[in-house]
Chains A and B, each alone.
Chain A
């Protein structure tokens, strides 16, 4: 996709779009999210003790489930926005769905990476064919598929409509994949490996930090989503403004031609 800078550089006429993606609300949200992340780091690394069985590894659990939750949240936002786009055809809902999927892909990848980092010392391998791991990996591929479709070289309406249909299918697909993988693994094994690891005595501080992790990561997610949405909106504005200008320029050219009766110098080659 062409960056706004590239377009405004090729069109010195200038693009009358705001310079940034921040607003007073998003700045407050950003500060709150930053403070929450700071507090989470303190809670996770200073305040909570090492776990008797898992040692320092347990600290990953303050982040990992929260990341997974935002990945699923992103899917639901994307599907809801896609349904809205198919019903009303608004540009904003398409941009929201795309932003949510993009962030969801990042969060899913982070979930996989943090899980893998946790799994290597715990299970001795980077990857096991556990139900949750497998369905998370499939979720990542589904999200990449949406992103691939959303960047196709086609008219914007075609692109956003096809992406919206894919977005509508996202949640049903996630549910179907999740269900089938769950059955697939649990019919072969007694229980998932993850479940057995949760039998350590959870202290109040541990529980609080884990729940606080969800809050902090959700705040960061919302802030990122807000800004990604605004970047998408600016991109859309630049694109449509550029198109309007090009049409306007051609009209003016044609107008001048019909009045002068002579072709304009330096015009389009015939």
Chain B
């Protein structure tokens, strides 16, 4: 299963390295969202500074929707879905591979976004351990849920409109928990944030588990 996962992840990442869709479209979009927040909230009133953790994670969720759509449009054309099924890969491995490639790309975007909010919203970096742990756990949860809901919407004529509607309510716990954990970290009270990290870890584990178990039945249909 892990070998299959490595193959799929390497394939997705190789496509990204050559096409650079995440780097040239999704990442700039994320920075654009940061600018839009600044236009919506008065930068002088310190609203941006106070809302930094929340705005950061809302931007990440927007990016997630795009990244998931991109991840499944890779297999959209030329019967690639059928080819993937015929290749004899284990469904759980395909899930883990798509998941890993998505997580790697999201993490890159998040690091740039974090630098962006620190610079643009003038926050000081603090609680690096909790920040890093939160980012890893939250991204794992987002990636697992995104992969699962991505395949649910993949190949449908209404996928672009359906995916955000299905995915974003499900990611609400991640938004809440990751925002609170970031708040604690940036405010210099990391001990308040660790329970939120635990919730994120539980979310990620639940979704990775369900993903491995149900991906097979989703791949074999259609």
Cα separation A54 to B148 with both chains bound (whole Å): 47
**Interface size class for chain B?**
20 to 34
Complex Cα distance, B172 from A145, in Å, reads: 14
Residue of A nearest to B152 (CB): A162
The secondary-structure label for the interface of chain B is: helix
Bound Cα distance A187, B221 (Å): 44
Cβ B210 vs Cβ A179 within 8 A: no
Q: Return chain A residues, CB-CB under 8 Å to B195.
A: 183
User: A46 in the interface, Cβ–Cβ < 8 Å?
Assistant: no
Min distance, Cβ B81 to any Cβ of chain A, angstroms: 12
Q: In the bound complex, how far is the Cα of B222 from the Cα of A5, in angstroms?
A: 29
Which of B152, B157, B196: most chain A Cβ within 10 A?
A: B152
Stretch at the interface among A37-45, A62-70, A167-175: A167-175
Query: Is A217 an interface residue, CB under 8 A from the partner?
Result: no
B residues near A154, Cβ cutoff 8 Å: 156
B116 within 8 A of A: no
Most buried by B among A153, A180, A183: A180
In the complex, the answer to whether A177 meets B173 with C-beta atoms within 8 Å is yes
CB of B170 closer than 8 Å to a CB of A = yes
* Cβ-based interface call for A138 (8 A): yes
A33 CB–B CB distance under 8 Å: no
B98 on the interface (CB 8 Å rule)? no
Q: Is the CB of A165 within 8 A of B152?
A: yes
Whether B132 sits at the interface, judged by CB under 8 Å, is no
Q: Which residues of A contact B23 (CB under 8 A)?
A: none
- Name the CB-closest residue of A to B177: A180
Please, which residues of chain A bring their CB within 8 A of the CB of B165? 144-145, 148
Interface string of A143-155 (1 = CB under 8 A from B): 0110011001111
Are A153 and B180 also in contact (CB < 8 A) when A166-B152, A180-B173 are? no
Is A227 among interface residues, defined by CB-CB distance under 8 A?
no
**Any A CB within 8 A of the CB of B203:** yes
Docked complex Cα distance between A157 and B220 (Å): 11
Contacts of B173 in A (CB 8 A): 176-177, 179-181
Q: Does B206 contact A (CB under 8 A)?
A: yes
One of B153, B172, B177, B214 near A138 (C-beta < 8 A): B172
A141 interface contact, C-beta 8 A: yes
Given contacts A138-B169, A180-B176, contact A161 B210 (CB under 8 A): no
Residue B218 interfacial (CB < 8 Å): yes
Residue among A138, A153, A162, A172 making CB contact with B218, cutoff 8 Å: A162
- Nearest CB of A to B191, in Å: 13
Q: Are B156 and A180 in contact (CB under 8 A)?
A: no
* Residues of the B chain whose Cβ atoms lie less than 8 Å from the Cβ of A141: 169
Residue B41 lies at the interface, judged by CB distance under 8 Å to chain A:
no
Q: Is there contact, CB below 8 Å, between A165 and B214?
A: yes
CB distance from A174 to the nearest CB of B (A): 10
Contact of B222 among A138, A158, A187 (CB under 8 A): A158
Beyond A145-B166, A173-B170, 16 additional contacts (C-beta under 8 Å) are A138-B172, A148-B162, A149-B152, A152-B156, A152-B162, A153-B157, A153-B158, A157-B221, A161-B218, A161-B221, A165-B148, A165-B217, A176-B206, A177-B173, A183-B180, A183-B196
* Chain A residues within 8 Å of B, Cβ to Cβ: 86, 138, 141-142, 144-145, 148-149, 152-155, 157-158, 161-162, 164-166, 168-169, 172-173, 176-177, 179-181, 183-184, 187
Nearest 10 pairs of A and B residues by beta carbon: A180-B173, A141-B169, A145-B166, A180-B176, A176-B173, A184-B176, A161-B221, A165-B214, A162-B152, A158-B221
Binding site for A on B (CB under 8 A): 148, 152-153, 156-158, 162, 165-166, 169-170, 172-173, 176-177, 180, 195-196, 199, 202-203, 206, 210, 214, 217-218, 221-222
